[in-house]
Structure 1
């Protein structure tokens, strides 16, 4: 099994990444946790079940010899790190870990913007050096949700010519929402606010189902808005997208609708329709309508296990759903929608 360190002690790290690491004892062994502050690192370690060996604690504030992130990255028994830090803090830590020879799984988005993401990926592919690079995967947990995987299988099963598609996500970030009350999210220094941090998940889900039908997005046009003043800088996108294959569809993402909530990602073909949300998949064909329910699951457990398997396999490759390039495509779509909105619904081309 691979010794791993969890870098980050925020909400998602504590309630999703930490249990996911512990749930894969044959693949991953938690050796250490890191957070910028000693208080948060200690709290994360103390949250482990009583019968679980306590990991070593690392932090940069206050400064203490042998306890910094740099010290953690020197440990030979730690082969990998799981990076779940604020968006703007991730890129530097990813580079430091890779330069130290550690395999890296980093939270989405791959970077704060497309320019930074491309630079980081280029550095990894050409500038890191060494005969055998450590693995770098980007964690987009929606791609590992059982419900989404099943929906993709249904899209392939019904087949047919794709006629249209839609992504519709409405939600409300309440004032007492635990994620809203994270300081770096409450006052974001990155584009899009919750539209980037949360919206990229739903873009990934749409792309997953479009991929199952042989489609890839290539053009975007959108209007953006701020419906709830405290959700700066924007909380809503209304867009139209076109695939490389010439199919039109709609993209709506909003975190500012108090009395409208729900998710619906839909692929419409000449043979039927598949509609997905995290707990339900509906399929409509000439034979009628079927529905399959799922317990809510984030998919984080599966994505950590897959990453552990890639380390164990020793092939030098991460799962195709975890490549930085795949995460870059999600970011390109989201950033394209934001930039189109900022330009008054200017048509944006995205790489294919």
Structure 2
């Protein structure tokens, strides 16, 4: 379908992951952000600094209709609830979750607000979320494809220091499923005016 997710929603993705665990058929995931040095190295450093205490992810840009990334028909009429945010956002979710690894740091719950700023980016083009980890630390995840703001930043504060990645692919199916849930729960919370939703599939 051209999507970078294991499926368009958590239910289908979980079914695909379960089926793939039997060995037939093979499920291939095209997510490689966990191996990109600008994310992998800072995440390794953060893991040495103790429990995460705060974090901020900010990915802001405008996806104009003239962009080659916008030009595919399925992106102009997406069947997935997150539209372009889900398609492109899974990469940003994977990078965020790379910093939030380990039992204490895994995402546990989320409250989010979503919006559609640009008519040509259905159904939503902006999500602002507050994520709480299993240990109780809170952080923000902001992603918009419908803004004139420009940002591509990951910052994590730990007990003994901070790590920042700013600037301008193979993984396990379970990781891709967790990336999808990370975003989908934000979108669902936004649909429910910021309702608190619990994460269930974070590793």
**So what's the TM-score if we normalise by structure 2?**
0.91
Instruction: Tell me the matched-pair count.
Output: 201
Equivalent pair of 1:136/1:323 in contact (CA under 8 Å): no
More helix by share: 1
Equivalent pair of 1:152/1:212 in contact (CA under 8 Å): no
Structure 2 counterpart of 1:86: 2
Structure 1 position 255, deviation (Å): 0.6
Q: Distance in 2 between matches of 1:244 and 1:112?
A: 26
Out of 163, 166, 173, the position equivalent to 2:56 is: 166
Can you give the 5+ residue segments of structure 2 that lack an aligned partner in the other structure? Answer: none
Structure 2 counterpart of 1:138: 29
- Does 1:147 pair with 2:63? no
RMSD between superposed Cα atoms in Å: 1.8
Give the secondary structure class of the aligned counterpart of 1:262: strand
Structure 1 position 212, deviation (Å): 6.7
Q: Distance in 2 between matches of 1:323 and 1:203?
A: 15
Structure 1 counterpart of 2:165: 276
**So what's the TM-score if we normalise by structure 1?**
0.54
Out of 90, 107, 114, the position equivalent to 2:10 is: 114
Give the secondary structure class of the aligned counterpart of 1:152: helix
Equivalent pair of 1:155/1:213 in contact (CA under 8 Å): no
Q: Distance in 2 between matches of 1:188 and 1:265?
A: 27
Equivalent pair of 2:112/2:127 in contact (CA under 8 Å): yes
Larger radius of gyration: 1
Can you give the 5+ residue segments of structure 1 that lack an aligned partner in the other structure? Answer: 1-84, 88-107, 127-131, 280-299, 304-321
Correspondence 1:90-239 to 2 at 5 A: 108-126=4-22, 133=24, 135-157=26-48, 159-211=49-101, 215-239=105-129
Structure 2 counterpart of 1:261: 150
In structure 2, relative to structure 1, the CA distance for the partners of 1:175 and 1:133 (3 Å cut) is: closer
